[in-house]
Amino acid sequence: MDITRLKQQSATEWRIEAHGNMRVPGIIYASEELIKGMDEKVYQQVAQVAALPGIVKASYAMPDAHWGYGFPIGGVAAFDPELGGVVSGGGVGFDISCGVRTLHTRLTAEQVLARQEALADTLSASIPAGLGSTGALRLRHREMDAMLKGGARWAVEQGYGQPADLERIEERGCMVGADPEQVSEQAKQRQRDEMGTLGSGNHYLEVQKVVEVYAPEIAEALGIHLEDIKVSIHCGSRGLGHQIGTDYLKRMVVEASRYGINLPDRELACAPLTSDLGRRYLGAMRAGINCALANRQILTHLARQAFARIFPEAHLELLYDVSHNTCKQETHLVDSQPRTLYVHRKGATRAFGPGYPDLPKALHDVGQPVLIGGTMGTASYILVGIAQSMELAFGSACHGAGRAMSRRQATRQWHGREIQEELTRRGICIRSPSPRGVAEEAPGAYKDVSAVVEATETAGLARRVARLEPLICIKG
Amino acid sequence: MSILARWEHFEHAADIGVRGIGASKAEAFAQAALALSALITDPALIEPRQEVDISCTESNEELLLVDWLNALIFEIATRKMLFGAFEVQLDGPHLRARVLGEPIQIDKHQPAVEIKGATYTELKVCRDASGTWVAQCVVDV
């Protein structure tokens, strides 16, 4: 990105002054180096989002921002329904509520390394991954609707996991306001046999080792210690979420002119929050969030069963579960006044600071954990929201490394088997049905996750707690 | 000079674009579908063992391309099949297609990605001065 078009506010805050039809400024949080590596399209997309009706304060981009659909990936924007604010299908994305959850294991690195291959094989056999894989569960009409209304709470009621898990999930595991009637039959059909599946692309299940602790007190409060073994699951709302995205993006494109919305890019398709279409999308999108929460809950159950076969003493308690692609109704202070806003986070993580009412009791004084997935060969990070993050970007932080290279470039540069062999040499077991899929997700195809996380901390969006490195990666 | 029907992939930061090129709009649509299959596996590996009919209606030709690719993505997802041959007929806003393929076999096809949806990014259906039709968009994978 051409840095001369931005006004530098601090080492990690860059401003696009409101110009043209922008209603608010654009603010990009990133180091100079990360900004220089960003696509020009990020500038354009941040500016276009700033022109949408009812946007409040600013159109934000996180340090891992890259070219997305209408909204940049790593984009955050809040809209006020009383000011004609909108909800955007592109602002949530195709993989509704894609997210990460991390589990403790009470195992040490030494224990896991002794049985690493066996654990990788067992997990790989237990977790359906990749195109064409199906889960053991088949949901018929009534059960599908119950799942879409209940989310992870429904999954726990069906015997997948424990009630204690729900405390550690955003929305206590169940997004209110979900309306299964607004979800098309095609979307439900796509999901019929996909519950408890990982998907493909950048989705994974990893067994990770804690290699560095930055904030010992917070780490202690979260139950994180050096050499601990954690499990992280990255996936979303599967075919159902993809189809909701497809269905509503089309409706919003076709109906935009009816609401007097001029779209410079079709992907910005949106509808007023108070319109019939806006309300229908919110009902469907919330059902998609519940689908993702239920899916990660079922995968957690499968992971617990797999661990129990190798390590009967393992105890996989949920540390936290975060969602990346959402639009949520939240109360935020704007000019010292509390306002009800609809916050879009497209490839961004909620990062509420300590004391926020939505946090469970155990995390009240700590802040919301922010779980950042890296790549197969690098590292993942655990951060927490801080008070300052509430003022900066409606309590939001980055979500991952962000791609530095397209999938096509990656497959030209690497072969899946070479990547797998290289990672094996470094002590990381990869299990995947597709060597090409592994090449497309090569660690070198991503930005430096550490630089993204450092910029996130410097900007005051969240605070680093710990760094984790993979020992086993199950990829779709 | 005759126009050679073909497909290409093009760059997008996080995802990838599919482009179909042909002597007619229908041929370009069919090639775009082949480009979609080529994201998942080598199309030469897909045997035409089963047939599925697809139809969509949309008066805007660009939106029709997205509808067509999304209809295919739906069939891939729900039938757990891959398709390697496409016979597309266009009649005004109506698209009718016969698509041929076979159930996904992990060992044989080694599917690289699961496609989430066709998008409106870089979406174009046009005919150049030489009469060549191009149909393209970015897909979310």
Nearest to A464 by CA among A223, A208, A216, A106: A216
Total H helices, total E strands in chain B: 3, 8
The alpha carbon of residue B111 is apart from the nearest alpha carbon of chain A, in Å, by 6
Decide if pLDDT at B2 tops 80. Answer: no
User: Contact, A415 vs A437, CB < 8 A?
Assistant: no
Decide if pLDDT at B1 tops 60. Answer: no
The pLDDT of residue A401: 85
Cβ-nearest to B114 among A68, A201, A243? A201
Q: For residue A399, indicate whether it is catalytic.
A: yes
Report which secondary-structure segment, H or E, holds A290.
Answer: helix A276-310
Nearest to A288 by CA among A341, A325, A339: A325
Partner-chain contact A476 B110, CB within 8 Å: no
Amino acid, res. B56 = C
Partner-chain contact A434 B112, CB within 8 Å: yes
CATH homologous superfamily, domain A3-85+97-404+446-475:
tRNA-splicing ligase RtcB (3.90.1860.10)
Domain ranges of chain A: 3-85+97-404+446-475
Rounded to the nearest integer, the mean pLDDT of chain A is 95
The alpha carbon of residue A466 is apart from the nearest alpha carbon of chain B, in Å, by 27
The pLDDT of residue A457: 98
User: Contact, B100 vs B47, CB < 8 A?
Assistant: no
Helix, coil or strand: residue A236: coil
Decide if pLDDT at A202 tops 90. Answer: no
Domains of chain B: 6-140 (3.55.10.10)
In the block, residue with structure tokens 């290289």:
A422
Rounded to the nearest integer, the mean pLDDT of chain B is 94
Helix, coil or strand: residue A91: coil
Q: Which residue of A has its CA nearest to B114?
A: A131
DSSP letters, A105-145, are: EEEEHHHHHHTHHHHHHHHHHHS--STT---S----HHHHH
Partners of B114 on chain A (C-beta within 8 Å) are 130-131, 199-201, 476
The pLDDT of residue A447: 85
Average pLDDT over residues A54-59: 98
The pLDDT of residue A262: 85
Partners of A68 on chain B (C-beta within 8 Å) are 14
Q: Which residue of B has its CA nearest to A254?
A: B63
The answer to whether B40 contacts chain A (CB < 8 Å) is yes
- List the catalytic residue out of A301, A332, A399, A415: A399
Helix, coil or strand: residue A412: helix
Provide the ipTM: 0.93
DSSP letters, B53-122, are: EEEEE-SSHHHHHHHHHHHHHHHHHHHTEEEEEEEEEEETTEEEEEEEEEE--HHHH-------EE-STT
A332-351, pLDDT tens digit by residue? 999 999 999 999 999 999 99
User: How far apart, in Å, are the Cα atoms of A401 and each of A372, A378, A455?
Assistant: 8, 10, 12
B47-105, pLDDT tens digit by residue? 999 999 999 999 999 999 999 999 999 999 999 999 999 999 999 999 999 999 999 99
